[in-house]
């Protein structure tokens, strides 16, 4: 009986304890990252970087959008690393998985070029403050008011009432009648 108890204690203090430690570390890293991002976004949203009327609300919106992107990236990185560490504890050989991830990454990158272009255009659009919610814009063949600004898609309500979804990567020229 004593040998069985000792082997059970050895087993529990081995892989299961390390898996629990990895998961706890991932939860703590995620919590600390969220807290750091939230504080930075709030500080950026309330700072008066560009003095002038109406710029504070637009700056707060941009800060929150960038904060949500950073939070999503943090979540993905933390949980991918945690999953890899847990799989390693189960004895999976991660070398071939990591090697094939590079090949899959290239294939996905080639297939998702428009998605990446849309997101990068959306990031630069937010950073450069080209337009925001409530602005009257003229884009492509559409004239209307911006209802929603996202990293990938901008939603514009046309003068005739039609709601248009415009991919940010497709916006090559834009007129903003609300900016002075």
pLDDT of residue 108: 74
Q: Taken in order 125, 118, 148, 32, is the CA torsion positive or negative? A: negative
- Domain ranges for the chain: 2-95, 128-176
pLDDT of residue 12: 66
pLDDT of residue 145: 92
pLDDT tens-place string over residues 94-124: 888 777 777 777 777 777 788 888 888 888 8
pLDDT of residue 51: 61
Instruction: Provide CATH code, domain 2-95.
Output: 1.10.287
pLDDT of residue 119: 84
pLDDT tens-place string over residues 125-169: 877 878 888 889 999 899 999 888 887 888 999 999 999 999 999
What does the radius of gyration of the chain's CA atoms come to, in whole angstroms?
24
pLDDT of residue 78: 94
What 3-state DSSP class applies to 157?
strand
Helix axes 113-128, 55-89, angle to 10 degrees: 140
What percent of the chain is helix, strand and coil (3-state, nearest 5)? 65, 15, 20
The answer, as to whether pTM is greater than 0.75, is no
pLDDT tens-place string over residues 52-73: 666 667 777 777 777 877 888 8
pLDDT at 11 over 70: no
- Domain spanning 128-176: which CATH class is it, in words? mainly beta
Task: Pick from 27-31, 87-91, 123-127 the range whose average pLDDT is largest.
Answer: 27-31
For 42, the token pair is: 């709030």
Please state the rounded mean pLDDT for residues 72-90: 88
């Amino acid at each position: 009986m004593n040998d069985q108890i000792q082997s059970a204690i050895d087993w529990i203090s081995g892989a299961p304890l390390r898996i629990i430690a990895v998961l706890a570390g991932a939860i703590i890293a995620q919590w600390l990252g969220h807290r750091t991002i939230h504080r930075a976004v709030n500080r950026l949203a309330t700072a008066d970087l560009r003095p002038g009327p109406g710029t504070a609300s637009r700056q707060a919106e941009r800060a929150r959008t960038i904060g949500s992107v950073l939070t999503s990236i943090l979540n993905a990185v933390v949980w991918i690393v945690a999953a890899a560490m847990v799989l390693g504890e189960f004895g999976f050989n991660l070398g071939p998985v990591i090697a094939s991830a590079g090949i899959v990454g290239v294939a996905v990158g080639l297939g998702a070029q428009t998605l990446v272009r849309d997101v990068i255009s959306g990031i630069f659009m937010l950073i450069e403050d080209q337009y925001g919610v409530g602005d009257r814009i003229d884009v492509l063949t559409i004239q209307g008011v911006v209802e929603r600004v996202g990293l990938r898609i901008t939603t514009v309500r046309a003068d005739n009432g039609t709601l248009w979804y415009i991919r940010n990567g497709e916006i090559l020229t834009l007129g903003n009648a609300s900016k002075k």
